[in-house]
Structure 1
Amino acid sequence: MTTPTTTQDMLDERYGRTSTPRRRWTIGLIIAAGVVIAGLFAWMTIANALDDVSADTTGFTVDDARSVTLSFQVTAPIGRTVACVLEAQDEDHGVVGWKVVELPASQTHARAFRETIPTTAEATTGLVNACWVT
C-alpha cells in the first residue's frame, strides 16, 4: 500500500520544487559567494578610510602684494606623514601662488598649522587645495 501524498507534495513534484542535494549545494555556494563579496567590500571600505585626510582653512592674512599667510587644520591618521597643496588666489579666483608643504608624522590626530605662501601678484584669499598621506 502506498502512502497518500498531499496536494502540496504533488504540486512540488509537478513543478520541480523538490529539494535535491545538488540544489542545496548550489544554494550554499551562492550564499557563501555573497558572504565573501560582502566581506571584501567591507574590507576595501575600511582600508580606504584608514588613509583618509581632511583639511580645513581656518583663516588667512594678506601680508603684502607678494605673500599670504594661511592658517589651516589637518586631520590625518596618527603616525603618517601628510603633504598638502596650499593656494593663494586673486579676486578673479586665479591662482597667484601655491606651495606644497610636507607635514611630519605625529601622535596627534588633528593639528593646526600656519604657512606663508609666496605670490606673483596681490592675493585676496588663501586656501588648502588638497592633502594626502605620503
Structure 2
Amino acid sequence: MTTALELDERYGRGRRKRTSWIVGGAIALVVIVIASWMTVSQSINAVDADDLSYELVDEHTVTVRFQVIAPQGKDLACAIEALDEEFGVVGWKIVEIPAGDSHMQQLTATVPTVAEATTGLVNSCWVA
C-alpha cells in the first residue's frame, strides 16, 4: 500500500516546493533592497542646475549666470556651453565649484568662444 508521504514525493508536494518559494522570495527581497539603496544613493548626490541669464560680451565671449542646487558641503563641477544660432557648440568650459554652506548657489561663468555665440547655458552639473 502507498503511504501519503510516498504520494507527496511522487507528485511534487512537500518540502521541495516550499523550499523553492522561500529561496525565490529571499532572492527577490535582496534585489528590492539593492535597487532601493541605489535609488537613494543617487538622489543623495543629485545636482540640479538652472540657467538664469546670459550676456554676449563680444564676438568671443559669453557670460552665463546660473544657479546650482546640490548637496551641502560637496565640491561640484558644471559644464557650461556657448551655442551659435544653429545650436552648434562654439565654446565650453568646465567650472569647478568649491563646497558651500548652502544647498543653493548662484554663480557666473565666462566662456570663451571660437565664433559668435547667440546663447549660453549650463549643459550639466555633477558632484566632483
1:23 aligns with 2:17: yes
Task: Output the CA distance in 2 between the equivalents of 1:40 and 1:92.
Answer: 44
- Counterpart of 2:91 in structure 1: which amino acid? G
Match of 1:118 in 2: 112
- Let me know the Cα RMSD of the aligned residues: 2.1
For the pair shown, the structure with the greater C-alpha radius of gyration is: 1
**1:7 aligned partner:** none
Match of 1:93 among 87, 98, 109: 87
1:124 shift after superposition: 0.8
Structure 1 residues 108-133: Cα deviation after superposition (integer angstroms, max 9, x where no partner): 11211111112222211001112111
**Alignment of structure 1 residues 1-134 onto 2, 5 Å:** 16=11, 18=13, 20-134=14-128
CA distance, structure 2, for counterparts of residue 62 and residue 107 of structure 1:
31
Can you give the 5+ residue segments of structure 2 that lack an aligned partner in the other structure?
1-6
Identity of aligned residues (%): 43
Give the 3-state SS of the residue equivalent to 1:43 in structure 2. Answer: helix
- Once residues 126 and 23 of structure 1 are traced to their aligned partners in structure 2, the CA distance between those partners, rounded to angstroms, is 63
- Which residue identity does 2:46 align to in structure 1? D
In 2, distance between residues paired with 1:49 and 1:42?
A: 11
Q: CA deviation at 1:66?
A: 2.2
Q: TM-score, normalised by structure 2?
A: 0.83
Gaps of at least 5 residues in structure 1 are: 1-11
What displacement does 1:29 show?
Answer: 1.6
